[in-house]
Amino acid sequence: MRYSDIEMQGCILSNNSAHQGGGIELQTNSVATINSSTFTRNSAEHGAVISARWNASAWINNCTMEANVATTYVIAAGDWSTVHIRESELNDNECKGGDVLLGENQTLITFETSRITSNKGKSIIDIRKGKLVQQWQHHSAQ
């Protein structure tokens, strides 16, 4: 999506596959507000759950992101974009060649009261030339 806004409430995005943005791809001044939704078993080379670039914003509230698989990033934010994750769970996702969550090139990523558990990747959170603001609960696998 470019120059667009989308609101999702109580949606299930499951078993989707794309080169970029297996669940949602946002570009150029787009805004997504996603509430009480589930992302499961989506796959993409970049952004199995969401890819936000070029001044895009994603507001993820009370969502579950589980068992998604990416080649490079499960959640990707780049080029002056923002991703806000609030009261959500990021569980059992896999990134085969990169980071589970990437923020690069002047991005802002926020976490508030969210759980990140049992994910696999080169690193779980990688911030490059961006900013991470966190108020979160982290629980590791036992």
CA–CA distance, 118 with 129 (Å, rounded to integer): 26
For residue 77, the 8-state DSSP code is: E
Residue 118 has pLDDT above 90, yes or no: yes
**pLDDT recorded at residue 65:** 98
> Is the Cβ–Cβ distance between 114 and 139 less than 8 Å?
no
Could you give the number of structural domains in the chain?
Answer: 1
CA–CA distance, 91 with 126 (Å, rounded to integer): 17
5 lies in a domain?
no
pLDDT digits 0-9 by tens, 12-62: 999 999 999 999 999 999 999 999 999 999 999 999 999 999 999 999 999
Q: Which domain holds residue 40?
A: 19-138
1 lies in a domain?
no
CA–CA distance, 138 with 123 (Å, rounded to integer): 15
Name the token pair of 122: 């080169």
69 lies in a domain?
yes
pTM: 0.88
